[in-house]
Chain A
């Protein structure tokens, strides 16, 4: 909200999902450094958000029968959006989103392979009620600011990933290259720092990293919801000969993973993951991704920033929390020229708009199609490289989808807006000022400002009566949320 200190506004847009009126009350009297600590040390905040689903004064979820976000993908989508809007730990959700894009895994392939129930469960299962391992998104929450090397190892054993990149069928007779390629190309060092023979070697490294079904497991859409698949190291399917890479695997510079007995063969994968996680190019690649995610998409990553962030990562044994703390307190992040220098992802746009405009009687079920039209359905990235970020979010079709979501939201909040702005709405200027404080855009030049005022007064002289407020406050909210200046965060 514009009434907050601009540094904290900036921080909440980037390290969170913007600020509702309640968030503004929380942060109003905080110093910027206290706000950073509040976000980064999020374990100090209760993780009570799921328990508030269905409570008054929160955005609604709606579903056909029972709300089952552990096994139904549309319910899981609503639960995640609910968390983004109402969590007391916004940076944890923000990082979960970052890792979801980094290790981009799509529901559609999981559902095709394992059925809709197991497909959703592999991605979204939150342990507590049902049996089986946690879903992938819970892994990303657990490791939101955790250790990257450990996260990478957990991802290599994650059932959703083992289906997504076909590790489940990686056997010694026919090594499967899909995961072996992407762990280098997309998850760690990036193109240019590995070779085609490295791909073949990495495929052999992960032979036998497979899945094992529990009792009653079927890929039936209406199967046993307590059934599951879990990681198994299948020694019989591990290819045990030595594997040589083009980059060092061990600290002594050796590039060869030695031949081992198959019972010890899982160590091959751990050795490769250690090497990739601590590779200097992984550190730089993550640093550049953090620049684009937190600092700016409009300015190229500053080489000094990249070297410093990479050094923090390596010096702290691949821990992410010190890196993100470094980023959020770096001179680049706090530079005022970086404000509104990033294009909002569709889910960031939608959740911030809901937080700022309101959620009365609004159901997150109505957000699903708009998000799909904007190009970002959660749990459905277009491919393993994740979404196409930055300016790529914007095309005529996707911008139209954003504008039309703004219309849907403003329409749903018509009475709420009119009632909550009744006092300020006594004058047209009062309404304009109050709305611009509430719905925060990148600076508006005078021409768009004039267009907004022209719109406010186009229905005749301003009286501030209910009908006028109903129409013009919602129209103004639609124009602000749908304008280009609002698409930047």
Chain B
């Protein structure tokens, strides 16, 4: 190891960044391996997104009667047309960034996605979306299993997780995923400077290189240290990116900015994981398109809108797909706290320069007794299995066989988003 040595001081602690002797850019490896340079950015809305207020059936009288204080007025929605069942729909007024992409024909809205007997537990449901198996809430995730299919050696940045925890979807048997929650602090620090700092870093790397074969738990922690040291320099490069647009100043948008940096700098990651929370809106959701839920939509629409514009400006949109989902949707009727409790099927969004945009599936009809509903008409019944969307992403976008990764054939019902 060696090459570029940059040392600077932060908080009285010297921060050392070292270049890697190893090859580095996955895009080079990928080209050598003959793989297309496509990437998927996963955006997870944590807490259970109220899809009825995301994509709004604003001509359904039951929408207003069942949500007297939180419904979005018809005059405010951003119209997106009529779906196959004849329902006229509009996006939440704070989703202008997404409405623009829809109007360009690059945003697919897949309605009533879910699975049979939808779990109403956050933790179980988010694990189900991760494993892609409603009967299995532990073990590897669907994207982890995709990573396991890629040729070895696997670059340490083949996937890039912008959160502190590894989400279930990225859990894998053999492919570690770095967690880069804050790329500005993703640097190596030492109490000393100069040669002593470099010697210390070398010692840390040697220590973490200990196989510790009889102690797998220790070996695991060692692997995270090695992963960090191997990825430091390229993360700093992505962080140094100057975007073509101004990103909003919130954690979600800044994570997307880092992802854009990684894409533009050619780091070569195939899967990025970004998330934003606060969707568990049991109370005080807000009315008139404003309030807490309006702010959530603003964060989502402005962040994704900025990211998509940036990537398009860089000429990289055609190789980038973004998928947006949440672990479940919410009850149709509002509760006594002007919020909504845990529900069932929701809306998935897929967007990108190669996506065939439009309205997929059919909207729920909210009057009690309608077959698009379940749980005594309290919740939305699923129409499209979420795994069929995964299947389409795996088969058509990544060009791998979805059947072994999803442990089943979900290709038949997949919306034709590519």
Contacts and interface: CB of A to CB of B under 8 A. Distances in A.
A369 B10 CA distance: 13
Contact of B185 (A113, A382, A395, A401): A401
Given A404-B189, A448-B207, A482-B204, A176 B196 contact: no
Contacts of A394: 220-221, 224
A233 B190 CA distance: 56
Given A176-B341, A177-B342, A484-B218, A398 B164 contact: yes
A391 B292 CA distance: 34
Contacts, number: 203
A482 B205 CA distance: 11
Nearest to B217: A298
Contact of A395 (B164, B206, B335): B164
B204 A166 contact: no
A137 interface: no
Interface string A384-402: 1100100110111111110
Given A185-B121, A484-B225, A411 B203 contact: no
A456 to B, nearest CB: 9
B191 interface: yes
Given A178-B282, A475-B192, A485-B218, A397 B186 contact: yes
- Of A199, A341, A455, most buried by chain B (CB within 10 Å of CB) is A455
B345 to A, nearest CB: 16
Pick the most buried of B188, B221, B228: most chain A CB atoms within 10 A of its CB: B221
Given A169-B337, A397-B164, A445-B212, A478 B228 contact: no
Given A113-B284, A181-B342, A196-B120, A395 B337 contact: no
B200 A478 contact: yes
B339 interface: yes
B337 A391 contact: no
A452 B224 CA distance: 20
Interface string B182-221: 1001111111100110011011101111101001011011
Contacts of A391: 217, 220
Interface string A320-341: 0000000000000000000001
Nearest to B182: A373
Interface residues of A, number: 72
Contact of A181 (B11, B120, B207, B224): B120
B321 to A, nearest CB: 25
Interface string A160-195: 000001100111011111100100010000010000
Contacts of A397: 164, 178-182, 186, 228
B28 interface: no
Interface in A213-243: none
B199 A459 contact: yes
A447 B210 contact: yes
Contact of A171 (B202, B212, B231, B336): B336
A170 B335 CA distance: 9
Given A178-B341, A475-B200, A488-B217, A166 B283 contact: yes
A475 B181 contact: no
Contacts of B13: 404, 407-408, 411
Interface of A: 112-113, 165-166, 169-171, 173-178, 181, 185, 191, 196, 199, 297-298, 341, 343, 366, 369, 373, 375, 382-385, 388, 391-392, 394-401, 403-404, 407-408, 410-412, 414, 442, 445, 447-448, 451-452, 454-455, 458-459, 471-472, 474-475, 477-479, 482-485, 487-488
5 contacts: A175-B336, A396-B224, A404-B188, A410-B191, A452-B207
Given A392-B165, A398-B179, 16 more contacts: A112-B292, A165-B282, A169-B335, A169-B337, A176-B336, A185-B123, A196-B120, A199-B120, A396-B231, A399-B225, A400-B232, A412-B12, A455-B203, A475-B191, A475-B200, A478-B200
